[in-house]
Structure 1
Amino acid sequence: MKTIKFITLLFLCSSVSLVAQQKLSLEEIWSGAFRTKGMDELHAMKNTNQYTVLNFDRSTRTMQIDLYDFQTLDKVKTLFDTKNFTEIQYVDSYTFDEKEGKILIATNSKPIFRHSFTAEYFVLDIATQKIQKLTNKEVQEPTFSPDGTKVAFAFQNNLYIKDLLSGVEEQITTDGKKNHIINGITDWVYEEEFAFVRAFDWNASGDKLAYIRFDESQVPEFSMDIYNQGLYPTQEVFKYPKAGEKNSEVSLHVFDARSNKTKTVDLSNYNDFYIARIDWTKDSNILSAQVLNRHQNNLDLLFIDGTTAIAKVVLNEKDKAYVDVTDNLTFLSDNSFIWTSEQSGYNHIYHYDKSGKLKKQVTNGNWEVTAYYGYDEKNKTVYYQSVENGSINRDIYAVKINGKGKIRLSEQTGTNEATFSPNFQYYINSFSNATTAPVYTLNNSKDGKVLKTIVENKILEAKLAQYDVAPKEFFTLTTEKGHELNAWIIKPKNFDVSKKYPVFMYQYSGPGSQQVANNWNNINDYWFMMLAQQGYLVVCVDGRGTGFKGAEFKKCTYKELGKYEVEDQIDAAKVIGKYPYVDATRIGIFGWSYGGFMASNCIFQGADVFKTAIAVAPVTSWRYYDSIYTERYMQTPQENPGGYDNNSPITHVQKLQGNFLLIHGTADDNVHVQNSMKMIEALVQANKQFDWAIYPDKNHGIYGGKTRLQLYTKMTNFIKEKL
């Protein structure tokens, strides 16, 4: 018996040892082997204490919109099932009308740019389970009128209203034309940088539709060759205002559905401006609009009379650098409103009356509000997310509208995100940190107590535990100049302090961004763990200019993008290079987009520090990037030529000494391949040897088919050979 026990124990120990030796592979990573379970298309209902989730039945290959009760988490019923409707094979997204008796379902979506797409839409009557096709057109951004009897949508740059009862389709604008006039849908640069597509909105009574009109006829065009499979390439041509160039001329209009007349809002006192948001207030005759000057350091919140189209300024925000636009503007029943602002130096919640007079700064402190969740008028309570528990963490809080009685609802340290029930009695909390995969729980809104677990990922955690990987370790790095920067490091599981390791640094570094965050792994993190298994230390440092540590820290890079951020990465690498377990002669850096801009600058300007760099889809001169993003941080090239040129990687190519890999997709509508082509030519003329890869017809994400696997294999091989 003793012998059998010994053999059994030996076998078990061997098994554990074998399990612990499992190695990550790129094939596994990009096959989705580490995908988390979640709650797809989670919508809190407005009229009942319920929520919906989009579910997928793998056995039948069908999709369901299921309704659940917030209190019990029990499924109440299935609102829609694709198996009952041959017209819809796949649900891309869905929205409810105001009464929540109808659902607008999108299918067969076709992307245009990052957020925009066309799709086929169907309207489902939940009670009768009857479905009707909205229109035979593939349209954009259909939106129910408040009474659910009409739907407004955009098609080929014009706006339409469909009467669901009569079936009559009315075209309310007629001048829409590609690359000239757009009605109710944002142009490329608004979509990318102000992050919205639908530029029209119904008022509360459903008799008026406000919309923004874009005249982009004077905006310079950008063209991209699309190679596809044909004998000759085709060309994609679209309007793209680069820094300092002509923007779309925007105007604001109110269509009266009763009189079929349109009025233009008088904005003649503004010149070269942006309309960053429009929203009807609780008063069905008052429209709000946020108007920014071109420098984006002056924002006016306008209230516009829906009948006369006369506008007045109710709130003004100024900043010595720039004013960030958010979606936190919320109108309460008395038409007072919630607003978030950095005016104190940190992003906080403010309450204004309907005339724009400040009633109360609701939150205050040397920390940032990162999300506003809503206001419970019955209990006079505001719910929000913030970084009060450290800038790398997110917690859920409740506070009275008068700023008193604040309580922390979330208990676990990491990233907490909430979806509240309509009556604010409950919320679904999504929690994760560096060692805990996402967990969805039902919580009580009074004290944050967990009532029930809905979804968890313990199977994924157990699976990852079988691999020879270690989680991120968070720390604060202080440069020799005295700057305290958030950082994380991933070490090999068998890390030995007596050895010397090469270091591979990752960063993004863009204004207001954050890569050092206490949450579960993204797909790049598995790649970094794989590199750690192969003997690399992977480090990420958030330098100056990144977010959630106050306006001063974030905005110090104003007019000098690429100066202080590069300085901090170089200085951080110097500090890391002095760690006793680091081989200071083998430090590399990697980044994508803004991170590619940074990686390029670091290998050039930090030639004595960095041995190797990989830059994917980089901006190489802010002169080639779009107006809204670039000028927000840099003003125009005409005003600030030194800020543009002194910090451009192209200016510093002659300093290259190490190994450099440059990667770009030819169909990148965001950061044009022109950026890389210009730097390639500069490197060639500087007689510098480097490696590069161009991906035909791939956009800024460089994906599709085996593309990501091939790309990451290339980068992995480059690191192993050159670092």
Structure 2
Amino acid sequence: MKKFHCAILALSVSSLLCFSSVVAAKGEPRTWSTDTISVVQQNQVDPSIRLTMEQIMADPDWLGRQPESAFWAPDSSTVFYQRKREQSELRDWFRRPVQGVGNGEQVKLADWHQMGAEQLVFNADRSKMAYIFEGNLFVIVDGKLQQLTRSNSSQSRPQFLLDGRLAYQQGWDFFAYDFNNGSHSEIASLKTEDAPTAPAPAKGYLGQEQAKLIRYIALQQQNQTERYQAAQQLRTENNSMAPAAIYLGKGQQIVDASLSPKGDFLMLATRKSSARNDKDIMPNYITANGDIAAQPVRARVNDFTPEPQKLLLVDLQQNSMQELSYSSLPGYNEDVLAEVKAENAKAQGKKYQSEKVIRDIGLMTDWYWSQSAMRWHNNGQQVAVMLKAFDNKDRWIATVDLAKKQLVPQHRLHDKAWVNYAFNDFGWLNNSETLFFLSEESGYAHLYSKALTAKKAIKLTSGTFEVTGPVLTHDDQYIYFTANKSHPGIYNVYRQVLGTNQTEQVTNLLGSTEFTLSPDEQQLLLRHSTNLMPPELFVAEAKAGTTVRQLTDTVSTAFRKLPLVAPQVVAVPSSHGSHPVFSKLYLPADYQQGEARRAVVFNHGAGYLQNSDLGWSGYFREFLFHNLLVQQGYVVLDMDYRASKGYGRDWRTAIYRQMGTPEIEDLVDGVDYLVKNANVDRKRVGTYGGSYGGFMTFMALFKEPELFQAGAALRPVSDWAYYNHPYTSNILNTPAIDPIAYERSSPIYFTEGLKKPLLINAPMVDDNVFFQDVVRLVQRLIEHEIVDFETAIYPVEAHGFRQPSSWLDEYRRIHKLFEENL
């Protein structure tokens, strides 16, 4: 390992970070720094403490119950945050003045509606603000709080209109509150029904004869026609009537809708509604009444076909609706999967003939992304939409010509693998008709801008790092964002100065940092953590080179005393590419002494997730378990294998159509690294992981049977055709189109390769990775007459375990597996 010196930055938390000088490489692709980074604890620890499995897997309240869901008060002087109630799943709200001390005071239930909300909206001159609390609408005018609705019908999405009114939604009905007279009026009502029409004459001979012969029938038809005409005339001539509802047709489902700031247009997307498949169920054997419950669950990628969407422009003044054609989008009819289809056809002894076909397209409303994909400029004269192809290969940003009622393409992001669901933030500058957005087109997620009059977008940020969460100030002076610019595992706050197109570093913390800009845009609320310290809240002025001040201190004394071994973030050389594999390495103090050590390699879940960064890990139990192993003389390696987050597009898409191949190659390099650098015995290395990490454990033991001497697969995927559509179709296309990718990537096709002991831990009410995955794979092992495996089932657990007893049982079994085989 390389030697390094310490550049210490003291924080008001009980940890320090020791790191070598790391400079971001200029230009792309990146030459990553290979210096080692590690965390050093302060002297509050008790070195005599020995970690126990019972403590590690206990209810995590003992860690201190850290701040959650923090946001600014409307006046920017106070922060509100939630904290878990001890020995309960309930959360309490706390008020912490920025200039106060301590952790603040608990907010009384009677005052919860006065706190404001994270999603405040402002009028044009920022003299009014509005928010939703428990489905009701509140406004603050001249510092005074007013409640505008009080009902059991939930309101949402407040927005100030250019005429001064406050619009909001109630379901798919749009209303406006007038501050001048206090009235609420309906702007538009969307109905997924057929529009009512005047009664039509009876069809067929018998119906026509009935009206001729039976006076009562004729009279009824006449009355119905007159009532319909009278209702239409009343709506036309009486201004007190609400505008006519907008009927979208029976069998349609509304995907999203967005009202213009002028209140004159409505953008919406619809699709055909589809019935649930009754086969999509999961049995629950432990129920209150003793019966077996068949719980509904999501569809499998093999069975699910997304419905294409219609994009509609509704003119509320003309009472008209126009479908917008996708034909102006570049590549809307390209056969982007031609090579994949040809390869699969050839494998079946067929020949594929490529031809143009209109692709299925809709709003970018992915499961990962919670923002609206329709954005109106605050002048009400322009609207932008973000669209995606359901084959996952294209993302478009387009505006709408409101006069011609057609889409105008502004930007196309094409990816031969798949467009990432994590970098799709976009919006308008406030004072010019200019778009800003994130794009991975350079190989890393960066900020771009594009004026509507410009032919090409301008790249605002540049470098071998990833930009996330851009936030624009109301005066268009800055865009604040988070980035791992100095090192892939260190996240800080930066801002882009739009006037000079310069990037300024705002915070200089050594760990993971998230931010929320205050309503007055003068301060940042920070959520900061390190490998050794869970997240706490900090505050800082919103300026370059700011000074950070801690607001909360919730970590328990019991946790602070633990003699934890800080993982070093090391760069494992790769034998398959120029980029190293950044990894956390846990070493006993005396690892270089005596005989070669035993080791464990941990595989993180989710696939696209970063765990070898310098922030607090969501895998806190695993972190403590790794420390227990270190106390017992183990070496532990936790790798950000290819497909992990934080390292750019090429790293992300390396698994396209071959999940479980590049990642296992990286594990091979990891074991080689341990043998060469950490005094590890190659014949005494085990592995484990959950979800995607469980899938990787399968693939490693099945395809590289000599790499690990034992492995534990927790809540593992065994056949990707049984997983969900949004995640899986991105990476493997669909089984109908690309069976080769599924057979290449699913462990169930490689079970005959198992040679070493395998532990499978499976929750039975897992609605993410179904218990069926384990059942089918176990049957395959039985049919292969393989006996060196065990299965532990957890009848009351879902994908994320909840019961301490389940956690304890699971990790006792994992520990036993390693103790007996390593």
Length-normalised TM-score, structure 1: 0.80
Q: RCO greater where, 1 or 2, for CA within 8 Å and sep 6 or more?
A: 2
CA distance in 2, matches of 1:713, 1:340: 45
1:21 aligns with 2:49: yes
What is the SS of the residue equivalent to 1:602?
helix
Question: Is residue 646 from structure 1 mapped to residue 744 from structure 2 by the alignment?
Answer: yes
How do 1:328-407 and structure 2 match up within 5 A?
A: 328-333=425-430, 334-355=432-453, 357-358=455-456, 360-375=458-473, 377=475, 380-401=477-498, 404-407=501-504
Letter of the structure 2 residue corresponding to residue 273 of structure 1: I
Q: Within 5 A, what are the aligned runs for 1:9-408?
A: 20-33=48-61, 35=63, 38-44=66-72, 49-50=76-77, 52-55=79-82, 63-64=92-93, 66=95, 68=97, 72=99, 81-83=108-110, 95-98=119-122, 102-106=130-134, 121-124=135-138, 127=144, 133-135=150-152, 142-146=156-160, 149=166, 151-154=168-171, 159-161=172-174, 172-174=190-192, 183-184=253-254, 199-206=256-263, 208-217=265-274, 222-227=280-285, 228-237=287-296, 240=299, 242-243=301-302, 245-254=304-313, 264-267=323-326, 270-277=358-365, 278-282=373-377, 283-305=379-401, 309-325=405-421, 326-333=423-430, 334-355=432-453, 357-358=455-456, 360-375=458-473, 377=475, 380-401=477-498, 404-408=501-505
- Deviation readout 1:518-548 (Å, 9 max, x if unpaired): 1124423122222323332221112222232
- How far did 1:654 drift? 0.9
Cα separation, 1, equivalents of 2:665 and 2:71: 44
CA distance in structure 2 between the partners assigned to 1:73 and 1:327 by the alignment: 37
- Equivalence for 2:573: 478
Question: Per-residue CA shift, 1:5-60, capped at 9, x if unaligned?
Answer: xxxxxxxxxx9997623424434543224545654333346x7545641356979x
Alignment partner of 1:314: what SS? strand
The 1:354/1:481 distance shift into structure 2, 3 A limit, reads closer
CA distance in 2, matches of 1:600, 1:207: 57
Work out whether residues 253 and 270 of structure 2, in 8 Å CA contact, stay in contact via their aligned partners in 1. Answer: yes
- Tell me which residue corresponds to 2:791: 692
Instruction: State the shift of 1:371 in Å.
Output: 3.6
Rounded to whole Å, the distance in 2 between the matches of 1:585 and 1:618 is 25
Q: Which amino acid aligns with 2:292?
A: P
In structure 1, C-alpha distance between the alignment counterparts of 2:616 and 2:733, rounded to whole Å: 37
Do the aligned partners of 1:256 and 1:262 also contact (CA within 8 Å) in 2? yes
1:252-287 Cα distance to aligned partner (Å, 9 max, x none): 345667787765444476532342142222142533
- Residue correspondences, number: 661
Scaled by the length of structure 2, the TM-score of the pair is 0.71
The letter for the 2-side match of 1:249 is P
Which residue type is aligned with residue 445 of structure 2?
N
- Partners of 2:780 and 2:488 lie apart in 1 by 39
Unpaired runs of 5+ in structure 2? 1-42, 195-249, 333-357, 366-372
Cα distance between partner residues in 2 of 1:327 and 1:229: 43
Farther-moved stretch of structure 1 (347-356 vs 239-248): 239-248
Distance 2:503 2:616 in 1: 28
Contact residue 381 and residue 399 of structure 1 kept, 8 A: yes
| Aligned-residue offset at 1:619 | 1.9
- 1:592-638 per-residue CA deviation (whole Å, 9 max, x = no partner) reads 22111111101111211212212122222222223332222222334
**Structure 1 residues 377 and 313, CA gap change in structure 2 (3 angstroms):** same
678-687 vs 368-377, which moves further: 368-377
Amino acid at match of 2:802: Y
1:579-601 residue CA offsets vs partner (Å, 9 max, x unmatched): 56323222111122211111110
Per mean C-alpha deviation after superposition, the further-off stretch among 336-345 and 440-449 is: 440-449
Counterpart of 1:30 in 2: which secondary structure? coil
Q: Write the mapping of 1:228-627 to structure 2, written as runs, cut at 5 A.
A: 228-237=287-296, 240=299, 242-243=301-302, 245-254=304-313, 264-267=323-326, 270-277=358-365, 278-282=373-377, 283-305=379-401, 309-325=405-421, 326-333=423-430, 334-355=432-453, 357-358=455-456, 360-375=458-473, 377=475, 380-401=477-498, 404-450=501-547, 452-456=549-553, 460=556, 463-481=558-576, 484-492=580-588, 495=591, 497-508=593-604, 512-522=608-618, 523=620, 524-579=622-677, 581-627=679-725
SS in structure 2 of the partner of residue 416 of structure 1: strand
Where 2:705 maps in the other structure, the secondary structure is coil
- Quote the Cα distance in structure 2 between the aligned partners of 1:93 and 1:692: 46
Deviations 1:315-362 (A, max 9, x none): 212223222243420211213111111222222111111346335311
Q: What SS does structure 1 have at the residue aligned with 2:713? A: strand
Partner Cα separation in structure 2 for residue 691 and residue 441 of structure 1 = 47
Partner of 1:190 in structure 2?
Answer: none
The alpha-carbon deviation at position 453 of structure 1 amounts to: 2.7
**Distance (whole Å) between structure 1 residues aligned to residue 44 and residue 727 of structure 2:** 52
Per the alignment, do residues 387 and 531 of structure 1 end up closer, same or farther by CA in structure 2, a change over 3 Å counting? same
What SS does structure 2 have at the residue aligned with 1:650?
Answer: helix
The amino acid across from 1:384 in the alignment is F
Q: 1:27 to 1:207 in 2, by over 3 A?
A: farther
Change over 3 Å in CA distance of 1:222–1:305 after alignment to 2: farther
User: Cα–Cα, structure 1 residues 245 and 493, in superposed 2: closer, same or farther, change >3 Å?
Assistant: same
CA contact (8 A) 2:687 2:711 kept: yes
Task: State the alpha-carbon separation in 2 of the partners of residues 305 and 397 from structure 1.
Answer: 35
Question: Between Structure 1 and Structure 2, whose CA radius of gyration is higher?
Answer: 2
CA displacement 1:449-483 (0-9 Å, x = unmatched):
216332245x54x6445224311112111145566
Displacement after TM superposition at 1:641 (Å): 2.5
Q: Say if 2:801 is the partner of 1:702.
A: yes
Aligned letter for 1:551? R
Alpha-carbon offset, residue 206 of structure 1? 4.8
Inter-partner Cα distance in structure 2 for 1:712 and 1:254 = 55
Q: Secondary structure at the match of 2:650?
A: helix
Contact conserved, 2:70 with 2:82, CA < 8 A, in 1? no
Runs of 5+ consecutive residues of structure 1 not aligned to the other structure: 1-14, 107-120, 186-198
CA distance in 2, matches of 1:33, 1:79: 18
> Residue 4 of structure 1 corresponds to which residue in structure 2?
none
Aligned residues of 1:473 and 1:488 also touching (Cα < 8 A): yes
How much has 1:128 moved relative to structure 2? 5.5
Q: CA deviation at 1:717?
A: 3.9
2:549 aligns to what SS in structure 1?
strand
CA RMSD between the two structures:
3.9
The aligned counterpart of 1:113 is: none
Residues of 2 paired with 1:308 and 1:230: CA distance? 61
How far residue 91 of structure 1 moved from its aligned partner, in angstroms, is 11
Identity within the alignment, %? 17
Structure 1 contact 22–466 (Cα < 8 Å) conserved = no
Q: Would you tell me which structure has more strand in proportion to its own residues?
A: 1
**CA distance in 2: counterparts of 1:236 and 1:564, whole angstroms:** 36
Q: Which residue identity is paired with 2:425?
A: N
Q: 2-side partners of 1:510 and 1:237: how far apart?
A: 23
Tell me by how many angstroms 1:516 deviates. Answer: 0.7
Q: CA deviation at 1:394?
A: 1.2
Query: In structure 2, what is the Cα distance between the partners aligned to 1:128 and 1:439?
Result: 30
Aligned partner of residue 599 in structure 2, secondary structure: strand
Offset at 1:74? 8.9
Query: Once the 2 structures are TM-superposed, how far is the Cα of residue 307 of structure 1 from its aligned partner?
Result: 7.4
